[in-house]
A and B are shown apart, each in its own frame.
Chain A
Amino acid sequence: MASATPTASNAAPPARRTGLLRRFSGSEHAVGWAFVTPATVLIAVFGLLPILWSLLLSFQKSDLLTPETPFVGLDNYKQIPGDATFRLAIEHTIVYTVLFVPATMIVGLLIAAALNRKVRGISIYRTAAYVTMAVSTINEAIIFMWLFEPSFGVVNAVLNGLGLPQGQWLSSPGQALYVIVAMTVWGWTGFAVVIYLAALQGVPKELQEAAAIDGAKPFTIFRTITFPLLSPATLFLAVWLSINALQLFDEVYLTTRGGPLHSTTVVVYYLFDQAFQQFNAGYAAALAYVLFLVILVITFIQFRVGNRFVHYNR
């Protein structure tokens, strides 16, 4: 603890300031601030500032180029309900979320259950399952564009070999969104595997043994004992993946750019399109705030509903 010097109170103002400075620089507060300042500055500049600026922007008309940004009140927000493309983007985002979130969780759970055992080389399999998370989105997109390339892609080659009809995939308005679902499920499965695997390892073995002695078969044990005890992980994944699904952008930007015929235009891609291609930055900011509120409400509902079914093992 720093202590005040006896002469500090009688000294001239500059000397008092020096004393205060010395006292502050030697205190725990100063050390604490020294540690948190870099992170605080980064968060403020790249997080807080854009949030506040975009809120201001949503009440302005701005093309990001001209310095005039007239205040338009709620005009940007009033424009949203009548925007047919935005409604389409919402529809695509909902379809994507409804498919992506459960699919990722189910595939993740099945792989985690398969990996939750003691077999030779298990760490290699576990690493392999997680490696999809380490692959960058651009690589993921390139791999899937190759796989689903209509003329030379592996998927069509396999379908051809099996005598099944081939698809146009990312070039087809009816199929492109589903290819993006497959791509992102593949990309996020590793994350779901890790979360579920950790949760599975937290389920006491005695509970499964007790259920086996009680006469339950393996699938019943999984359904009635193991799965309910994974509920915190399930809720976490449902919330986390939903937030990510509603913010889908990278994969769409890298593969289809919202096409063909707007069939993969999702909310965040549309927002990007409005801001940086149509230069309606004010309108895009308003869309961003609507999306933010939607995510907030959905997450709140997920927690409220989910907590009824979640059991935190105590």
Chain B
Amino acid sequence: MAEVEYRKVTRRYPNGVVALTEFDLHVDDGEFVILVGPSGCGKSTALRLLAGLDKPTSGEICVGGAEVTRQGPGDRDIAMVFQNYALYPHMSVYRNLAYGLRQRKTPKPDIDRRVREIGEILGIVELLDRKPAQLSGGQRQRVAMGRALVREPQAFLLDEPLSNLDAKLRGQVRAELKRLHQRLGITSIYVTHDQVEAMTLGDRICVMNQGEVQQLGTPQDVYEHPANVFVAGFMGSPAMNLVPGTVAEGQVLLGGHTLRAAPAGHDDVVVGIRPESLRIAPQGHPGIQVTVDFHEPLGSHALVHCLVGHDSVGVVGDSAAGLVVQAGPDVSPAPGNG
């Protein structure tokens, strides 16, 4: 296991597209860091550069204190789980797991011992003689993780490994991944666009957009103190309400309503309010009068979409008719960067 570091890494493609701009990231030994962002934000590029599958235009990548920027993928002692698992279809599960060890000239008895050990850990011992085509999605997922872990790599890379699983299985495997990391403590870098995975799995989250780091912090920190409007809008489900407001006389004017707090030094702001920080108040209670646009029942609660002036605002509530929406006590309008 080792620490991983990106130092001002830029990747520019021949067609001029810049996938990653001066990317800096330090991952501690044994840490689980999530790279999260929308499609095309550069997160997979960052992972491929670390794996050695692509070369940076400039900058350095270090693993375990040693610079590996120009090394081939096989020389970096890094393992990777691909989105579609990339299991060798013509080999049995056993041979899939053993392939990396064979390439490293590991003695046969050691290969056998380690394959069976990892098989035990992941619960795939009974599948060792099967071919990947004979496995379910969840089983393939575990074999892919086994193939990566069996080599006891310095760092473990995961490129959207749960995206091909159904919702129920995704939850189970997510929990298994968390447990596995706690048990083995391998430095892990995990790419996803799913913020639930980001929030639940990561020691730290690196939110990316357009090839740049938007914020790096603990899940709670990113959720509660988003660095900018992009992070505020991207992290959290349901998404944070972002409503343009105007500052006047120390107060924020918001769609004809006034909020108490106002930041200094700004005229136009974007007010961010999480849907769960708003609540639906009975008729006659003080609050902001809104029009219910539509609502989405989610079982335990409903997400009510309301119109405040021309702006749509989501509120987590349990009713959908005749609503008065009241700003909760924890609403804290923040200055927007947008």
Contacts and interface: CB of A to CB of B under 8 A. Distances in A.
A214 B89 contact: no
Q: Interface extent on A, as a size class?
A: 20 to 34
B73 interface: yes
A147 B90 CA distance: 44
A219 B132 CA distance: 24
A182 interface: no
Interface stretch (A3-11, A86-94, A103-111, A203-211): A203-211
Contact of B100 (A204, A214, A229, A314): A214
Contacts of A214: 74, 99-100, 103, 147, 151
B111 interface: no
B79 interface: yes
A214 to B, nearest CB: 4
Interface string A297-314: 000000000000001011
Contacts of A164: none
Given A213-B73, A220-B103, A229 B84 contact: no
Contacts of A216: 74, 99, 103
Contacts of A228: 90
A225 B102 CA distance: 14
A17 interface: no
A311 B89 CA distance: 8
B53 A212 contact: yes
A311 B84 contact: no
Interface in A191-226: 204, 206-207, 209-217, 220, 224-225
Interface residues of B, number: 23
Nearest to A313: B89
A213 B89 contact: no
Contact of B84 (A206, A211, A224): A206
B213 interface: no
B86 A207 contact: yes
Given A225-B88, A229-B89, A313-B89, A213 B99 contact: no
Contact of A314 (B52, B79, B80, B133): B133
Interface string A229-266: 10100000000000000000000000000000000000
Contacts of B147: 210, 214
A217 B74 contact: yes
Interface string A74-111: 00000000000000000000000000000000000000
B82 A210 contact: yes
A209 B86 contact: yes
B293 to A, nearest CB: 43
Contacts of A204: 84, 86
B89 A215 contact: no
B297 interface: no
A242 to B, nearest CB: 24
- Which 10 A-B pairs have CB atoms at the shortest separation, nearest pair first? A214-B100, A215-B103, A215-B74, A206-B86, A311-B90, A210-B86, A212-B73, A213-B73, A314-B133, A228-B90
Interface of B: 51-53, 72-75, 78-80, 82, 84, 86, 88-90, 99-100, 103-104, 133, 147, 151
13 contacts: A207-B88, A209-B73, A209-B82, A211-B103, A212-B72, A213-B52, A213-B74, A214-B99, A214-B151, A224-B99, A229-B89, A229-B90, A311-B89
